[in-house]
Amino acid sequence: MRRFLPLLGVSLFFIVTANAQSIDAQKIAFDYVRLPLVPVPAGTSSYTPEVLLRYVESVQQQQANHVSAVTEAKAKAEKDKQEYKAQSLKDKAINRLLLDERKPGEAVIPTADYTAQVYDAPTLAATYVSLSGMKRVQSDGDLRVVVSLDGFTQGPITPVQVKGTSLAIGGASTGDGIKHAYEVSYKSPVSVKVTTKDGKVLLDEMIEATNTYTVGKTEAFATEEGLNKFWRNNQGAYMRQLDENAMKTNMKLATDYLDSALGQRSITRNSSIWVVSDKKINYDEFPQAYEKALIGYKLLADPARTPEASLQINEAVALWTKALAESNPKDKKARIDEKVTAATLYNAAEANLWLNNFDETDRLLARLKLLDISRYNILAKELDLLAQDQHKRFNANKKN
């Protein structure tokens, strides 16, 4: 027992020493102004939004075709009645006996196919179309922003069978056995075009995601007749809801696309600055760098204060760079060991991103990935995506 106690004391000493080092993620949130992907002419400050419904004539033609079909059906029914009426009783009897020809009934009115909703274009423009950092004007804006809708397009309607109790359709469990539903495919393509006052086209594209078919599913019924009855009574309302949902979703996609391409939106960045501390070892540069970086990041919200932000961030980078000069990942006793190196690399990589030092950010992230620490691999991947996007936007706006 006398030998055991000293050993226990030594073990406790090493445990305390090993746990003395603390690497804490100080969560931060700050705003920055995201640059556009498509640079606009210098002095551009306003835009005029417009929505074009390019499918209106098609809808009108579809409706006119149905009216003609109804008129023809009624005319044929009336003609059949007159011809039947003009027959003698003898002819009527013979035709009924030999041809099973009976007295004509009322006209069979053809069912109208669903026609895309014609929305109010000015309302859509006012509700959805916007560009961050620019003023909306009713006419003669520096930019003309046109969003064109090609209307709701219905694809195949496919009967499907649903089996099992685990699948829910229409908010209700399908229960045991087979149930019947329809899958309805549809799309509602949207395009965007942006031009300057002098007619220069800055952007002219179809929003690709809006030009692919989406599949909706009706609620399921125990019998095919139950499904058919539902469809006869509710097809129009069901299709109208799909139409409205597609319009809202795709208009938002178009607006987000336009804003990413041409707007100057304020984005909130949620991140962390890693701070190292130890009861035995001096890590004073880490809280100092944290304070400087945080001040700099907070200043990014105001582009006019970019020089002040860069000054603070550069001072933080200098402290982290000096620490990295001591990096020795293979030595667990080193002041800047593997884990401290990883935390410092991440801090410095993000800071260089906001200084537009993208090559340095890439280099630091590459070093971080080589350490292959799970926690930092995830962070590095997310930061790498942001850095690529920022680099692309920075290059696009160099001339401006």
Same domain as 144, residue 157: yes
Indicate whether 65 belongs to any domain: no
* 3-class SS letters over 57-108: HHHHHHHHHHHHHHHHHHHHHHHHHHHHHHCCHHHHHHHHHHHCCCCCCCCC
- My answer on whether 226 and 130 are in the same domain is yes
Judge whether 339 lies within some domain: yes
Q: Report if residue 85 sits inside a domain.
A: no
The answer to whether the Cα torsion of 62, 66, 69, 75 is positive or negative is negative
99 in a domain, yes or no? no
Last residue of a domain, one of 235, 262, 289: 262
- Global pTM reads 0.76
Structure tokens at 296: 């700099």
User: Backbone phi, then psi, for 112, in 5-degree steps?
Assistant: -80, 130
Domain boundary among 204, 235, 262: 262
- Tell me: do 118 and 258 sit in the same domain: yes
Give the end-to-end CA distance of the chain in Å, rounded to a whole number: 78
d(CA 257, CA 337): 44
Q: Are residues 233 and 307 in the same domain?
A: no
Select from 262, 296, 316 the last residue of a domain. Answer: 262
Shared domain check, 206 and 180 = yes
- Token digits of residue 25: 């993620």
Are residues 258 and 176 part of one domain? yes
Q: Which of 337, 339, 315 minimizes the C-alpha distance to 327?
A: 337
* Each residue's pLDDT expressed in tens, for the chain with a length of 400 residues: 444 334 434 333 333 334 578 999 999 999 999 999 998 888 899 999 999 999 999 888 887 776 777 677 777 777 777 776 777 776 667 666 555 666 776 766 667 678 899 999 999 999 999 999 999 999 999 999 999 999 999 999 999 998 755 555 565 554 557 899 999 999 999 999 999 999 999 999 999 999 999 999 999 999 999 999 999 899 999 999 999 999 999 999 999 999 999 999 999 999 999 999 999 999 999 999 999 999 999 999 999 999 999 999 999 999 999 999 999 999 999 999 999 999 999 999 999 999 999 999 999 999 999 999 999 999 999 999 999 999 999 999 886 6
The domain total for the chain is 2
Domain that holds residue 143: 46-59+112-262
